[in-house]
């Protein structure tokens, strides 16, 4: 008689070693399950996660962020709904698309990427995580905001503490305290800068946030501080892991790496497939507003719902050969992969689709292109096999590579 093997618990070392096997078992046997330790219902199938994110019927809210995010950032756009959310999004979104992104911030991205690569382009070796990926998005965001990049270590420490807080599924008290300390430290750092920028605006993103107005509404100092905190943490962590993930996936598939090297127009496809195959964020939570029927049962009203992006993005009912990395797959459209119409779920969907998706796309296109130019025969260091780490967010912690420096 066939006996179904239960999926390992999401807090177990076995799960962290290989969540994708666990995701497969969840989708097959327990697409909806109650998880006592996190006090949440876990959802793993694509159709269910998509429904939660799109929320066309008003069945889910982001009230979970009141306890999950507010203690470290303050009240952010993620927690808002209705007109309040629409106005706040209208205040911040223009900076991350269109002419502002092209004219003001693409040069910032190009400069910061080049500066980091200059630090190792003649060495013949680098760790693409430590030397580039962890630093690049934080430097870009600090530069965009008009902050002092020499404070990188502080920024990185803050966003690391915030991400640890968000992923603190086991409820470690010290992790919680460190995250909450970050809110105080970041406020002490940012609020004086925000006040000075209000008095003397410049041509940076922080000045734009200080002066933006929609329907007579402007952002207060605390609102701007909270958004900057969210931007550093979310933008830093996700782009960091996305860049490391793209190179890990391409290095493991040399024929696809060569295709991207030959045609840089394939970088968005490599990014989109990486977001599907090895998403930087594996879990996003929501709160049920009503009783909801999903695959496998009923979710009561007023409970936390943990959406497993990493599981949904490998659903056999949505993708052909979902456990294969394939930048040429026909069931993932690169042209809409960075919009609210995306096929994958890595940026969420609906009203709370990631406002920084186009910024991330620009960073990845520029960064990956410049790295390929600087490392024409890029290869993994001898004997090294990249290993992903993490449960809430996930990616390789190190990626040592070798290459022949480009003369001149």
- What are the tens digits of pLDDT across the range 368-406? 999 999 999 999 999 999 999 999 999 999 999 999 998
Q: Please, how many CA atoms are within 13 Å of residue 145, restricted to the half-sphere of its CB?
A: 25
Contact 323, 22 (CB under 8 A): no
Beta carbons within 10 angstroms of residue 305's beta carbon: 23
Give the Cα separation of 368 and 260 in Å (integer): 10
Tell me if residue 211 falls in helix, strand or coil: helix
- What are the tens digits of pLDDT across the range 191-215? 999 999 999 999 899 999 999 888 8
Predicted TM-score (pTM) of this structure: 0.94
H or E element at residue 191 = helix 173-199
Contact 95, 101 (CB under 8 A): yes
Give the Cα separation of 172 and 259 in Å (integer): 45
**pLDDT for 380:** 97
- Residue 280's contacts (CB-CB under 8 Å, 6 or more residues apart) are 237, 238, 239, 240, 241, 242, 245, 346, 393, 394, 395
DSSP 367-395: HHHHHHHH-TT-EEPTT----EE-SSB-E
- What are the tens digits of pLDDT across the range 327-375? 999 999 988 889 888 999 999 988 888 888 889 999 999 999 999 999 9
- What are the tens digits of pLDDT across the range 150-183? 898 899 999 899 999 988 988 899 999 999 999 9
The pLDDT of residue 407 is above 80:
no
pLDDT average, residue stretch 127-134:
97
Pairing of strands 292-294, 297-299: antiparallel
**pLDDT for 408:** 53
- What are the tens digits of pLDDT across the range 11-22? 999 999 999 999
Give the Cα separation of 14 and 212 in Å (integer): 48
Give the Cα separation of 225 and 206 in Å (integer): 9
**pLDDT for 247:** 98
Question: In the structure, what pLDDT confidence band is assigned to residue 9 with cuts at 50, 70 and 90?
Answer: very high
Give the Cα separation of 221 and 198 in Å (integer): 9
**pLDDT for 2:** 37
Question: In the structure, what pLDDT confidence band is assigned to residue 4 with cuts at 50, 70 and 90?
Answer: low
For residues 110-123, one letter each, b for 16 or more C-beta atoms within 10 angstroms of the residue's C-beta and e for the rest, the string is bebbeebbeebbee
What token pair was written down for 256? 């696809």
- What are the tens digits of pLDDT across the range 45-95? 999 999 999 998 999 999 999 999 999 999 988 888 888 888 888 888 887
**pLDDT for 3:** 41
pLDDT average, residue stretch 113-130:
97
Residue with tokens 């009923």, as numbered in its chain: 298
Beta carbons within 10 angstroms of residue 278's beta carbon: 25
DSSP 168-186: -TT--HHHHHHHHHHHHHH
Contact 225, 190 (CB under 8 A): yes
Give the Cα separation of 133 and 346 in Å (integer): 18
Question: CA-CA distances (angstroms) from residue 382 to 122, 143, 247, 385, 398?
Answer: 19, 36, 16, 9, 14
Mind listing the domains of the chain with CATH numbers?
13-375+396-402 (1.10.630.10)
Give the Cα separation of 59 and 292 in Å (integer): 7
The overall average pLDDT reported for the chain is 92
Give the Cα separation of 293 and 109 in Å (integer): 44
- What are the tens digits of pLDDT across the range 227-258? 999 999 988 899 999 999 999 999 999 999 99
**pLDDT for 99:** 78
């Amino acid at each position: 008689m066939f006996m179904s093997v239960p999926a390992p618990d999401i807090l177990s070392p076995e799960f962290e070693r290989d969540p994708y096997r666990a995701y497969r078992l969840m989708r097959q046997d327990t697409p909806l399950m109650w998880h006592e330790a996190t006090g949440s219902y876990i959802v793993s199938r694509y159709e269910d996660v998509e429904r939660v994110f799109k929320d066309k019927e008003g069945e889910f809210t982001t009230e979970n962020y009141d306890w999950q995010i507010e203690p470290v950032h303050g009240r952010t756009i993620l927690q808002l709904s209705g007109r309040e959310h629409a106005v706040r999004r209208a205040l911040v979104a223009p900076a991350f698309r269109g002419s502002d992104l092209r004219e003001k911030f693409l040069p910032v991205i190009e400069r910061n990427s080049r500066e980091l690569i200059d630090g190792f382009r003649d060495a013949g070796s680098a760790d693409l995580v430590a030397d580039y990926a962890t630093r690049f998005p934080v430097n870009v965001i600090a530069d965009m905001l008009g902050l002092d990049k020499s404070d990188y270590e502080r920024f990185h420490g803050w966003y690391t503490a915030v991400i640890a807080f968000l992923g603190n599924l086991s409820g470690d008290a010290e992790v919680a305290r460190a995250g909450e300390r970050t809110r105080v430290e970041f406020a002490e750092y940012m609020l004086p800068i925000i006040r000075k920028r209000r008095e003397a605006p410049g041509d940076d993103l922080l000045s734009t946030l200080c002066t933006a107005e929609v329907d007579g509404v402007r952002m207060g100092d605390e609102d701007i501080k909270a958004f900057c905190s969210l931007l550093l943490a979310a933008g830093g962590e996700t782009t960091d892991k996305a860049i490391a993930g793209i190179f890990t996936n391409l290095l493991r598939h040399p024929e696809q790496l060569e295709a991207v090297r030959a045609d840089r127009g394939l970088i968005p496809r490599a990014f989109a497939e990486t977001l599907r195959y090895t998403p930087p964020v594996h879990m996003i939570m929501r709160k049920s507003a009503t009783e909801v029927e999903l695959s496998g049962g009923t979710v009561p009203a007023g409970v936390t719902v943990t959406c497993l992006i990493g599981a949904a993005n490998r659903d056999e009912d949505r993708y052909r050969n979902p456990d294969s990395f394939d930048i040429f797959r026909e069931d993932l459209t690169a042209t809409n992969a960075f919009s609210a119409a995306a096929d994958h779920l890595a940026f969420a969907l609906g009203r709370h689709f990631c406002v920084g998706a186009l910024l991330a796309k620009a960073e990845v296109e520029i960064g990956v292109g410049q790295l390929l130019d600087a490392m024409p025969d890029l290869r993994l260091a001898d004997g090294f096999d990249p290993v992903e780490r993490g449960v809430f967010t996930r990616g390789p912690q190190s990626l040592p590579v070798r290459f022949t420096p480009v003369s001149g």
